[in-house]
Amino acid sequence: MKFDLHTHTKYSDGIFTPKHLIDLSLRLNLDGISITDHDNIDGLEEAIKYANSIPDFKLIPGIEFSSIYKDEEIHLLGYFIDYKSKILIDYVNHLKDIRFKRAMEMVEKLNNLDLKINFEDIQKNNKHLISRTHIAKEMVRLNYVNNVKDAFDRYLKLGMPAYVAKKGLSTLDTIKLIKDLGGIPVLAHPGLLHDENTIDDCKDLGVLGIECIHSKHSKAETEGYINYAKNNNLIITGGSDCHGELIQGELLLGKYTCSIEKGDLLYDYL
């Protein structure tokens, strides 16, 4: 069965509603998807309700946590988490606050650079979570930059003047949290890590899978990660990381997938 296990909705920095994402997935003949919004689960209940009304379509409850490891931000996917858990709800609410304050700090830095931005304008359109993407889009709207990438390259990415580091749980504690929530922790897009050795470290910290297949991985990287996962007895996952934008006129959704078959660990959870 073919699944895209990495997607975002408007509840984080994606464009689509969960329902729209599921309708598009059906058109692409996917057997299921996971919705993995950044640090957020607000879309899961409506997604699962809608998916349950569709025969033979599976919605895997997921999340993409940002975690802190050494000086790096590591993204961890948590699949099949108990999205009704009070512990989880409290933690994501805390992350929302942290992101809110961080976004305010970044806007202040931009204002000091004479890029006048009104924080309330960003906030009113993004009640669920504020990410750098939302700030970047506001910068495009105000004609301060040509596009979102430009905003990141010149102002928002690590090392640039309006960057503010995220706070949150360490990678170890995030892996533990996902497991405590009954979920499967998977290292997201290892190809985007700054230090290759971090993959070994994450294995030692307890991740159970690796996102070998991802829209930002080259063919050689994908093959390397698949071999690594096989040699280390880790689950191989894959997903597009679709946010809804068209990349060269095409939607990423369903272009990077993995199969879940009888006998696979993930199959038992379906």
Of 110-118, 129-137, 168-176, 199-207, which segment contacts ligand AMP by CB under 6 A? 129-137
Task: Give whichever of 66 and 67 is closer to ligand AMP, judged by the CB atom.
Answer: 66
How far is residue 211's CA from residue 4's CA, in Å, rounded to a whole number? 11
Among 131, 171, 237, 240, interactor with ligand AMP by CB under 6 A: 131
How far is residue 268's CA from residue 263's CA, in Å, rounded to a whole number? 8
Among 4, 13, 42, 138, interactor with ligand AMP by CB under 6 A: 13
Residue 94's Cβ-count burial label (10 Å; 0-12, 13-18, 19+) is middle
Among 6, 38, 58, 214, interactor with ligand AMP by CB under 6 A: 38
Q: Is 13 in the site for Mn ion (CB under 5 A)?
A: yes
Contact 254, 30 (CB under 8 A): yes
How far is residue 173's CA from residue 179's CA, in Å, rounded to a whole number? 10
> Least distance in Å: CB of 16 to ligand AMP?
14
Choose among ligand AMP, Mn ion, none what residue 132 binds, the Cβ cut-off being 5 to 8 Å by kind. ligand AMP
Contact 269, 3 (CB under 8 A): no
Of 49-57, 120-128, 144-152, 232-240, which segment contacts ligand AMP by CB under 6 A? 144-152
Task: Give whichever of 70 and 230 is closer to ligand AMP, judged by the CB atom.
Answer: 70
Of 48-56, 114-122, 127-135, 198-206, which segment contacts ligand AMP by CB under 6 A? 127-135
Tokens of 102: 């961080």
Task: Give whichever of 131 and 257 is closer to ligand AMP, judged by the CB atom.
Answer: 131
Alpha helices in the chain (DSSP H): 18-27, 44-52, 86-112, 119-125, 132-141, 148-151, 171-180, 198-205, 219-231, 265-269
> Least distance in Å: CB of 38 to ligand AMP?
5
Strand 209-214, strand 184-187: pairing = parallel
Task: Give whichever of 13 and 83 is closer to Mn ion, judged by the CB atom.
Answer: 13
Task: Give whichever of 4 and 241 is closer to Mn ion, judged by the CB atom.
Answer: 241
Q: Is 75 in the site for Mn ion (CB under 5 A)?
A: yes
Choose among ligand AMP, Mn ion, none what residue 138 binds, the Cβ cut-off being 5 to 8 Å by kind. none
Tokens of 255: 């272009």
Q: Is 133 in the site for ligand AMP (CB under 6 A)?
A: yes
Q: How many CB atoms lie within 10 A of CB 60?
A: 23
Which residue is associated with the tokens 């105000």? 142
How far is residue 235's CA from residue 224's CA, in Å, rounded to a whole number? 14
Please report, as ranges, the residues that interact with Mn ion according to CB under 5 A: 13, 64, 75, 188, 241
Please report, as ranges, the residues that interact with ligand AMP according to CB under 6 A: 13, 38, 66, 131-133, 148-149, 152, 157, 243
